[in-house]
């Protein structure tokens, strides 16, 4: 009997946290169908990054949340290998009909053979699953994330510098595994089964497992973006924060993470507008930058799905300085004057 795995690799900012929460929420029901859902030990940082750290280059700096638990990149690799060994032992013990793994951080591993070779230590039948998001929406969402991670305005990538999750990663998996072992879906809600990510995802799980899956529960919304006013306010705070610090800044990081949680979980901020592309040329610039990827996905995978929207043929790219000034204007205009006092009240809590 083949030892089957369905590896969901994101892409980043395309509902991965919701999928991972749904896998945990429906763990027992899936186990009843002999489907194993597994994630690494979460005691030392985000589980999705734990699997990918096995493949991290030594020179990659530690992100703020990694610095809470590790002092060197080598320590993150050792922790990753320990978790990979735990996965292999569990699969050998349980002998599931299908194992489902989810790690959006694996999309950033350039050499997909390293990932496949690691999986082949345990599995003989591998299917790779990815959701692909519109590059403009991906860019906007990624700005929110890197700002939360501490980036300053001068460090934000321009739409022409942003690295959309590389279509070459998907192409490499496709060339090695074949299209029958690839599931690539447009993240556009109009494209999802029932307009719902969880319904769409578990429909694909059921297909790979060869079994029905009824009554799947959907988790609460997860990893929500900040409201636009909080995002822009935090961008100002970042001017005094060192994102890739090499010293021991754990106490600062703990206070910063607590601040982010207050802003994200605030009911008063939840209804405020989030960053919007609106009429800004940012969207066209991001799509123009990824025109090769858009054509690849539309041609190879989305010919029978909702296609990704390309940039207009007459899109003009200004010089980098003008583009950054346009970004500055676009971001600041979204921090509405009436919203900023609410952000400050939530950020500065009286005991």
Q: Where are the alpha helices (DSSP H) in 54-126?
A: 73-94, 112-120
The predicted pLDDT at position 331 comes to 95
Assigned token pair, 17: 């946290």
The predicted pLDDT at position 222 comes to 64
The Cα–Cα gap between 297 and 320 comes to 28
Q: What is the pLDDT along the chain (351 residues), one digit of tens a residue?
A: 899 999 999 988 899 999 999 999 999 999 999 999 998 998 888 888 899 999 999 999 998 888 889 999 999 999 999 999 999 999 999 999 999 999 999 998 879 999 999 999 999 999 999 999 999 999 999 999 999 999 999 999 999 998 777 899 999 999 999 999 999 999 999 999 999 999 999 999 999 999 999 889 988 876 678 999 999 999 999 999 988 888 888 899 999 999 999 999 999 999 999 999 988 899 999 999 999 999 999 999 999 999 999 999 999 999 999 999 999 999 999 999 999 999 999 999 766
DSSP output for 82-95: HHHHHHHHHHHHH-
DSSP run (H or E) holding 19: helix 16-25
Strand partners, 183: 129
The predicted pLDDT at position 350 comes to 66
Closest to 69 in 3D by CA, of 48, 43, 51: 43
**CB distance 243 to 64 below 8 Å:** yes
**CB distance 132 to 186 below 8 Å:** yes
Phi and psi for 126 in degrees, rounded to 5?
-120, 130
Angle of helix 291-300 relative to helix 167-177, nearest 10 degrees, comes to 30
The predicted pLDDT at position 92 comes to 96
The predicted pLDDT at position 223 comes to 60
The Cα–Cα gap between 129 and 194 comes to 19
The predicted pLDDT at position 280 comes to 86
């Amino acid at each position: 009997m083949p030892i089957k795995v369905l590896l969901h690799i994101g892409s980043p900012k395309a509902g991965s946290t919701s999928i991972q929460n749904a896998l945990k929420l429906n763990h027992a029901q899936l186990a009843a169908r002999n489907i194993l859902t597994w994630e690494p030990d979460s005691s030392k940082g985000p589980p999705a990054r734990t699997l990918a750290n096995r493949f991290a280059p030594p020179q990659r700096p530690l992100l703020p949340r990694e610095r809470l638990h590790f002092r060197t990149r080598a320590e993150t690799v050792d922790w990753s290998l320990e978790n990979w060994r735990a996965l292999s032992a569990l699969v050998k013990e349980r002998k599931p009909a299908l194992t489902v793994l989810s790690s959006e951080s694996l999309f950033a591993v350039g050499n997909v053979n390293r990932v496949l070779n690691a999986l082949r230590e345990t599995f003989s039948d591998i299917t790779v699953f990815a959701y692909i998001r519109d590059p403009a929406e991906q860019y906007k969402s990624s700005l929110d994330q890197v700002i939360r991670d501490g980036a300053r305005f001068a460090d934000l990538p321009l739409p022409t510098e942003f690295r959309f999750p590389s279509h070459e990663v998907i192409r490499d998996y496709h060339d090695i595994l074949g299209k029958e072992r690839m599931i690539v879906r447009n993240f556009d809600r109009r494209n999802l089964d029932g307009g719902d990510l969880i319904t769409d995802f578990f429909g694909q799980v059921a297909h790979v497992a060869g079994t029905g899956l009824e009554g799947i529960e959907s988790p609460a919304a997860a990893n929500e973006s900040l409201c636009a006013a909080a995002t822009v306010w935090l961008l100002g705070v970042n001017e005094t924060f060192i994102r890739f610090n090499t010293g021991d800044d754990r106490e600062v990081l703990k206070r910063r993470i607590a601040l982010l949680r207050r802003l994200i979980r605030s009911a008063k901020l939840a209804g405020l507008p989030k960053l919007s592309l609106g009429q800004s040329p940012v969207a066209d610039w991001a799509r123009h930058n990824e025109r090769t990827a858009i054509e690849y996905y539309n041609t190879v995978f989305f010919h029978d799905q909702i296609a990704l929207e390309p940039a207009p043929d007459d899109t003009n790219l200004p010089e980098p300085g003008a583009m950054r000034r346009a970004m500055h204007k676009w971001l600041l205009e979204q921090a509405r004057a009436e919203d900023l006092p609410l952000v400050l009240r939530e950020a500065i809590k009286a005991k």
